[in-house]
């Protein structure tokens, strides 16, 4: 098993529970832990300096930084804890493309990561105001489901939960796997999958001290994520249909929502406490609260070039949306030198969805009693005091070169129905499987960790059968 995150840990655990001999290779070290009371800047630089996170850059318009967890637990240790199931309309589409039925797997995952709705006391004023807007519009949505029982709203989920409340895989799955004999080798980087013809035989890796590590295995499973997995396969000489193609992300929109009262985006609260999936299927976007720490509000507002927006920072909440990417314009390619080259470009469909999501956010904001709104992109400038003025003044299409991109949800580069079969097996190869978000046949529009875990669980069931 290569990777200990949402794709690797569940399948490793299920196989270990069934009596298999399992070895998990993890390129990073122990998961980070943000000490109680530590300033967020210090926590951030500690995570960066210890290389618990990796940053890839997808070239294109706009340039997209892509962040990955490189530690025990992978990105599950460094996310906001939001745990949405795969939307039903996509679940049906995926099964038509050859993906397994995930119904039983969803329930199995829930037994490990303990998902529940965000508690009232963790909404924060920003979340309460979004709920007010949801009620006023009548849109579907509510409190975000999260895998963090016992959370007290420290608001530093993405830097390592200081109370170990968030049930990342290093706290939920891997202890169970270890109890059944699985070995987890940290700081061990997979360099190459070994082959005998078209049959995978194991992995060659580099250990913590630079020493060579060779693992011989009856079944090899790559679960390094949608950036690292296709690169590893290509570096190993794997030739499979559309390997590394159809790189998908979730472009995002952000709206600054100005009220006549203080808006608390710090503690006690969680970063993503409220959501609406009213328009996920019909318009291709999901509304999701995007709180940031108070001392980062001013720099975020500064990109708009609006002094008035900056002056109102203490009365401003951040509301956002994830965009379902239609795909086809991104790729992860590996050169002869072994280096990854990532490309990504937003298309006309995604631009239209970004703009429409901002209009929907403004509609909900004014319904919640907002005094004004400001779209967050470079030089957006104006504060709009009505939905009509906002819709008329917002550029159509949005100015591509002034958008600020970024994503923590890479998907699709070994897609089911293209590169891999429904059980994750790489087409044309024996005993070689993929188990991570690179298997996604389409973009999903919601935070992907729950879906990755369910897919991993379903693949484990197929292997055991």
Q: ∠274-277-280 over CA atoms, to 5°?
A: 145
Q: Distances from the Cα of 341 to the Cαs of 59, 60, 223, 359, in angstroms?
A: 8, 11, 19, 34
Residues 6+ apart with CB under 8 A from 115: 83, 145, 146, 147, 450
Catalytic residue chosen out of the listed positions 91, 250, 313, 409: 409
Distance CA 44, CA 25 (A): 25
CB 388 within 8 A of CB 227: no
The residues near 408 (Cβ < 8 Å, ≥ 6 apart) are 66, 67, 68, 75, 79
% helix, strand, coil for the chain, step of 5 = 30, 20, 45
409 is catalytic: yes
Contacts for 43-48 with beta carbons within 8 Å, 24 or more apart? 43/156, 43/159, 43/160, 44/159, 46/159, 47/78, 47/159, 47/160
Kindly list the catalytic residues.
409
């Amino acid at each position: 098993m290569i990777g200990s995150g949402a794709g690797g840990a569940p399948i490793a655990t299920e196989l270990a529970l069934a009596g298999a001999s399992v070895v998990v290779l993890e390129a990073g070290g122990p998961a980070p832990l943000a000490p109680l009371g530590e300033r967020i800047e210090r926590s951030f630089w500690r995570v960066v300096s210890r290389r618990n996170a990796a940053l890839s850059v997808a070239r294109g318009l706009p340039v997209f930084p892509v962040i990955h967890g490189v530690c025990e637990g992978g990105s599950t240790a460094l996310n906001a804890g939001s745990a949405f199931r795969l939307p039903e309309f996509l679940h049906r589409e995926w099964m038509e493309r050859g993906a397994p039925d995930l119904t039983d797997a969803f329930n199995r995952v829930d037994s490990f990561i303990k998902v529940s709705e965000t508690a009232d006391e963790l909404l924060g004023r920003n979340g309460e105001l979004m709920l007010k807007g949801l009620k006023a519009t009548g849109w579907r949505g509510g409190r975000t489901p999260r895998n963090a029982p016992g959370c007290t709203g420290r608001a530093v989920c993405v830097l390592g939960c200081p109370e170990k409340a968030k049930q990342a895989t290093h706290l939920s799955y891997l202890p169970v796997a270890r109890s059944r004999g699985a070995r987890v080798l940290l700081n061990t980087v997979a360099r190459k999958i070994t082959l005998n013809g078209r049959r995978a035989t194991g992995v060659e890796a580099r250990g913590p001290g630079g020493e060579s590590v060779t693992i011989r295995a009856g079944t090899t499973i790559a679960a390094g994520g949608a950036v690292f997995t296709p690169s590893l396969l290509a570096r190993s000489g794997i030739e499979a249909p559309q390997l590394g193609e159809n790189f998908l992300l979730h472009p995002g929109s952000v709206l600054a929502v100005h009220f006549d009262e203080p808006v608390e985006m710090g503690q006690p609260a969680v970063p993503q406490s409220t959501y609406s999936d009213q328009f996920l299927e019909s318009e291709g976007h999901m509304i999701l609260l995007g709180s940031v720490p108070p001392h980062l509000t001013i720099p975020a507002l500064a990109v708009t070039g609006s002094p008035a927006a900056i002056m109102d920072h203490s009365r401003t909440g951040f509301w956002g949306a994830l965009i379902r990417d239609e795909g086809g314009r991104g790729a992860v390619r590996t050169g002869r030198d072994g280096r990854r080259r990532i490309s990504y470009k937003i298309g006309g469909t995604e631009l239209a969805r970004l703009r429409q999501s901002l209009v929907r956010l403004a509609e909900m904001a004014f319904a919640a009693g907002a005094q004004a709104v400001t779209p967050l992109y470079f030089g957006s400038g104006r504060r709009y005091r009505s939905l009509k003025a906002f819709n008329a003044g917002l550029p159509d299409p949005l100015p591509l070169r002034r958008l600020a991109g970024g994503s923590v949800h890479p998907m699709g580069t070994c897609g089911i129905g293209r590169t891999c079969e429904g059980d994750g097996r790489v087409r044309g190869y024996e005993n070689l499987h993929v188990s991570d978000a690179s298997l996604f046949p389409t973009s999903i529009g919601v935070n992907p960790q729950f879906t990755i875990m369910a897919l991993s669980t379903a693949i484990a069931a197929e292997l055991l059968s």
